[in-house]
Chains A and B, each alone.
Chain A
């Protein structure tokens, strides 16, 4: 009997050893920090911010004083808003982006805007903010999910608000006939209500007659031409290429081919992002950014995309340079599509840290 036990023990030893080894491997794997998480040290050594300190509301810093004005408007001071709009005057690029910032506030609560409107019944600035706020409210009601995850209650509210906004857009356009902003606002109505391409082309003629190389107009129209909205990959790419080719250096419209590529990219590897064509597009973007007015409100949006594609193309030094110029604000493509707040910042930091690590390793 004892002999039998001994034989069994000898036979069992290899099994026991094997089991212990497996357990060891498992524990080691379990406690190791996750492999695809790039080490943040390299980036933070350069003074770049950790994810929790990234601003997830804007793509870049607001112009001086605007932050304080927005806070005052939130507190009900419509005169601050009126002054901000008035000071901008006919700078359409700034006018459309500032009107958007104010309208975002009015889409939540609009008491201050009502006060402004009742004090100055035919103020074109108040009218354009009103129109934009209704369109933003419509999109807030819809939510950012795919159509199949959006309820009919959301769609009903969305369509009702968009229908209402059309009248307000018309009014804003009539009060300030030179201003392209009401028409730019209408692009988002065209997306939501599904204007036919022919209507969109008419709208586009109105816009380009007023501002031929307007960033937000082109950005919005490109969304309309994307396959997921009312166009196709070909329509979007053609639109983007043509606009980029026709625009003067410094207008930032070189961002459009990058966005068109990004919106229709369904591949799961990086080879499509490293083609000579994509490298050429990124180079054009770098030249455009260098030539642009450094205070252009949309410049950070181009830089975010440049940083992303430079990183994917393993041009890490150039990528890191762009990251350093925009660090601190992450609400821009491509990060924005990862989700709200944390997810957005985490995605940005992951790519940025990998870039910083690659640069540090190369030195």
Chain B
């Protein structure tokens, strides 16, 4: 099949997507007409009713095809006056690719770059283009690599193949959006139903009646049926256009290699999955470290820290780069597996441009620090922006750990409260251990079936790891409350904690002390030696007790 024919087929299939509902409705009407002509009137009346019921989701589906204008994902729009260098680069690349430059550039907080187009007339006519550019990409890629990525994205809209190919791309995007819209509506209906039933249950419970299990099975069923019909069709559409889309992806890669250089393009492809994994880790372990304590890093550092972490963890990134995903990310994804793409680009003849644009892509921004700060304001919600800013990352770590430890509530706390009918505290726990009641207490922990059935040594071995973990947290919390802990922040390693030195001046061995306290025949002596002496007169004494 030639490329024009393929595109034509895609066009017909796209038309079918919109006509699907109309065709089904027509089929129903035709069936009714046949009934009217040939069936006895009693039976026909019943079947009319059935056909009306079937028609309802179809008609609703027709209305749903009018998707709302896609909402712009949160980001920081930048004008040409803001970022002249970036705009110049993008224009130049679009020129080289041979397509229109986007009319808007939005910086986003993710490892992603995409050009989108608000196509008009159901995906048939071109519309305004937007470039979404993730700032983490700018932090992780060199300038040449970024050019490769951008050239690829713009390459989707180049008309090198055939004019109709662009329609396929737009059509895919439109169909995906429509399906997303269906699913969203179905979820919302189910959500409303859930809320309604929960309210009913609350009322029933208030009157002392039994509450019913919440079941949203039937809510949104018309939407879901509808969505199923359209999703089925969309899958057909995607399968039919997949080989074409793959071909376009490879073509866009070749275009990118031509414009940005082979090595930069290939290495950018390798880099992106690594940057993505690293960014997920960064957000979890660094940026949002203070979320429970309602703390934020200094202004501009929420995203800015990512760059520092990448620098500190270069060695780990090497490992991530060499393991490339060989599976496509989702069945709807038009991109072939990254491993394939890298292989094809690397197989191109060398172009001697390995040394171009080695500087970081962040250099394209006029003032990276200002932009990173502005991005925070643009994408973090207001509640988060009101969190207290710490002076530096070390301060964020100290504040977060102290707050987390102060509000510590483990399964061991609850078991202890249940066992002693008293406020669960470390002294109370140590007393229980000294009284030889540790293993009775352990029976109150949440246990797996195997642990609950076990007796004697087997039981103790099952619960010992959990006991040791919880006890260690409680000890750290106690030391933290007396400001005896020192946390060490690091971009390259997990945060580590330092205990005050042992009485003899050596290193305190918390692990050994915990082990002794949860041994078969427990001894809390080593642990007590590590703890601050008990305060004689309540909170007032504590102040003097804590060396700052």
Chain A neighbourhood of B521, CB < 8 A: 114
B360 to chain A, nearest CB (A): 42
Q: Nearest chain-B residue to A150 (Cβ)?
A: B450
Residues of A contacting B462 with CB < 8 Å? 141, 153, 157
Contact of B450 among A107, A110, A137, A153 (CB under 8 A): A153
Pair A108/B457 contact, Cβ less than 8 Å: yes
B28 an interface residue at 8 Å Cβ cutoff?
A: no
Majority-rule SS of A interface residues: helix
A137 touches B457 (CB 8 A): yes
Given A108-B455, A108-B456, A109-B456, answer yes or no on A143-B461 (Cβ-Cβ < 8 Å).
Answer: no
Tell which of A110, A153, A154 has the most Cβ of chain B within 10 Å. A153
Q: Verify A140–B458 contact, CB threshold 8 A.
A: yes
Cα A157 to Cα B457 with chains together (Å): 11
Question: What's the minimum C-beta distance from A136 to chain B, rounded to whole angstroms?
Answer: 10
- Asked whether, in the complex, the Cβ of B457 is within 8 Å of the Cβ of A156, the reply is no
Which residues of chain A come closer than 8 Å to B381, judged between CB atoms?
Answer: none
A234 at the interface (CB under 8 A from B): no
A360 and B455 CA atoms in complex are apart in Å by 47
A31 → B minimal CB distance (Å): 38
Measured between alpha carbons, how far is A62 from B262 in the docked complex, in Å?
Answer: 78
Q: Which of B448, B454, B456, B462 has the most CB of A within 10 A?
A: B456
| CB <8 Å contact, A110 and B451 | no
**Which chain A residues lie closer than 8 Å to B450 at the CB level?**
143, 151, 153-154
Q: Does A160 sit within 8 A of B, measured CB to CB?
A: yes
Within 8 A of A (CB), among B432-450: 448, 450
Q: In the complex where A151-B448, A151-B450, A153-B450 touch, is A141 in contact with B461 (Cβ < 8 A)?
A: yes
**Do B461 and A110 have beta carbons less than 8 Å apart?**
no
Taking the closest CB of chain A, its distance from the CB of B118, in whole angstroms, is 49
Question: A153 and B461: CB pair below 8 A?
Answer: no
A109→B461 contact, CB < 8 A: no
B427 at the A interface (CB under 8 A): no
Interface residues of A in 78-125 (CB under 8 A from B): 107-110, 114
Contact residues, B517-535 vs A (CB, 8 A): 520-521
Q: Are A157 and B461 in contact (CB under 8 A)?
A: yes
- What is the CB-to-nearest-CB distance from A116 to chain B, in angstroms, rounded to a whole number? 15
- Indicate whether B501 reaches chain A with its CB closer than 8 angstroms: no
Which B residues lie within 8 Å of A157 (CB)? 461-462, 465
Residue numbers in B under 8 Å from A109 (CB-CB): 456-457
**Distance in Å: Cβ of B412 to nearest Cβ of chain A:** 17
Closest B residue to A158 using CB positions: B461
A153 touches B457 (CB 8 A): no
Contact with A along B459-474 (1 / 0, CB 8 A): 0011001000000000
A161 at the interface (CB under 8 A from B): yes
A141 cross-chain contacts in B, Cβ below 8 A? 454, 458, 461-462
Distance between Cα atoms of A161 and B462 in the complex (Å): 11
A137 near B461 (CB under 8 angstroms)?
A: yes
Residue total for B at the interface (Cβ-Cβ under 8 A): 13
Within the assembled complex, what's the spacing in Å between the Cα atoms of A209 and B187? Answer: 71
Nearest B residue (CB) for A154: B450
Q: Which residue of B lies closest to A106 (CB)?
A: B457
Point out the residues of chain B lying under 8 angstroms from A160, CB to CB.
461, 465
| B458 lies within 8 A of A153 (CB) | no
Residues in B299-347 with C-beta less than 8 Å from chain A: none
Contact assessment for B457 and A107 in the assembled complex, using a CB-CB cutoff below 8 Å? yes
- Least distance between B461 CB and chain A CB atoms (Å): 5
CB of B461 within 8 A of CB of A161, answer yes
Find chain B residues with CB under 8 A from A114 CB: 521
Distance from A287 Cβ to chain B, minimum over Cβ atoms (Å)? 42
Cβ contacts A150-179/B at 8 Å (1 or 0 each): 010110110011000000000000000000
B448, B455, B456, B520: the one within 8 Å of A153 (CB): B448
CA–CA, A137 and B461, complex, Å: 9
- Contact assessment for A137 and B465 in the assembled complex, using a CB-CB cutoff below 8 Å: no
CA–CA, A345 and B462, complex, Å: 31
Which residue from chain A places its CB closest to the CB of B448 in the assembled complex? A153
Residues in A with CB closer than 8 Å to B465 are: 156-157, 160
Complex CA distance for A131 and B458, rounded to whole angstroms: 15
A154 to B448, CA, bound (A): 10
CB contacts under 8 Å to B, within A235-269, are: none
Q: A141-B462, A153-B462 are in contact. Are A110 and B448 (CB under 8 A)?
A: no
User: What chain A residues lie within 8 Å of B451 (beta carbons)?
Assistant: 153
Tell me the complex Cα distance, A244–B114, Å: 71
Chain B residues within an 8 Å CB radius of A161: 461
Look across to chain A and name the residue whose beta carbon is closest to the beta carbon of B466.
A153
Q: Which residues of A contact B457 (CB under 8 A)?
A: 107-110, 137
Residue of A nearest to B462 (CB): A157
Residue of A nearest to B458 (CB): A140
A161 to chain B, nearest CB (A): 6
Q: How far is the CA of A140 from the CA of B465 in the complex (A)?
A: 17
Chain A residues with CB under 8 A of B458: 107-108, 137, 140-141
Give Cα A140–Cα B448 distance, bound, in whole angstroms.
15
Alpha-carbon distance between A140 and B456 when the two chains are bound, in angstroms: 11
Residues of B within 8 A of A137 (CB): 457-458, 461
CB neighbors of A among B248-280 (8 A): none
Smallest beta-carbon distance A98→chain B, Å: 20
Considering the complex, which residues of chain B in the window 145-183 have a beta carbon less than 8 Å from any beta carbon of chain A?
A: none
Residues of A within 8 A of B454 (CB): 140-141
Question: What's the nearest-Cβ distance from chain B to residue A270, in Å?
Answer: 37
Residues of A within 8 A of B461 (CB): 137, 141, 157, 160-161
Min CB–CB distance A118 → chain B (angstroms): 11
A145: nearest residue on chain B (CB-CB)? B450
- Type the 1/0 row for A39-81, where 1 means its CB is closer than 8 Å to any CB of B: 0000000000000000000000000000000000000000000
**Across the two chains, which residue of chain B brings its CB closest to A140?**
B458
Min CB distance, B327 to chain A, in Å?
24
B450, B454, B465, B521: residue with the most chain A Cβ atoms closer than 10 Å: B450
Give Cα A136 to B450, complex, Å. 16
Which residue on chain B has the smallest CB distance to residue A107?
Answer: B457
- Residues in B191-210 with C-beta less than 8 Å from chain A: none
A141 and B521 CA atoms in complex are apart in Å by: 20
Give A162 Cβ to nearest chain B Cβ, in Å: 12
A191 to chain B, nearest CB (A): 19
Give chain B residues whose Cβ lies under 8 Å from the Cβ of A153.
448, 450-451, 462
Give the Cβ gap from B135 to chain A, nearest Cβ, in Å. 38
| B contact residues around A108 at 8 Å (CB) | 455-458
How far is the CB of A79 from the nearest CB of chain B, in Å? 21
Docked complex Cα distance between A109 and B448 (Å)? 21
Q: Mark B478-515, 1 if CB is under 8 A from A, else 0.
A: 00000000000000000000000000000000000000
User: Cα distance A161–B457 when bound, in Å?
Assistant: 11
Cα–Cα, bound, A75→B142 (Å): 74
For A151, list chain B residues within 8 Å (CB): 448, 450
CB distance from B340 to the nearest CB of A (A): 33
Q: What are 16 contact pairs spanning A and B, CB under 8 A?
A: A108-B455, A108-B457, A109-B456, A109-B457, A110-B520, A114-B521, A137-B457, A137-B458, A137-B461, A140-B454, A153-B448, A153-B450, A153-B451, A153-B462, A156-B465, A157-B461
Which 3 interchain pairs have the tightest Cβ spacing?
A108-B456, A109-B456, A140-B458
Beyond A108-B456, A143-B450, A153-B462, 5 extra complex contacts between A and B, CB < 8 Å: A108-B458, A110-B520, A137-B458, A151-B448, A153-B450
Chain B interface (Cβ < 8 Å from any Cβ of A): 448, 450-451, 454-458, 461-462, 465, 520-521
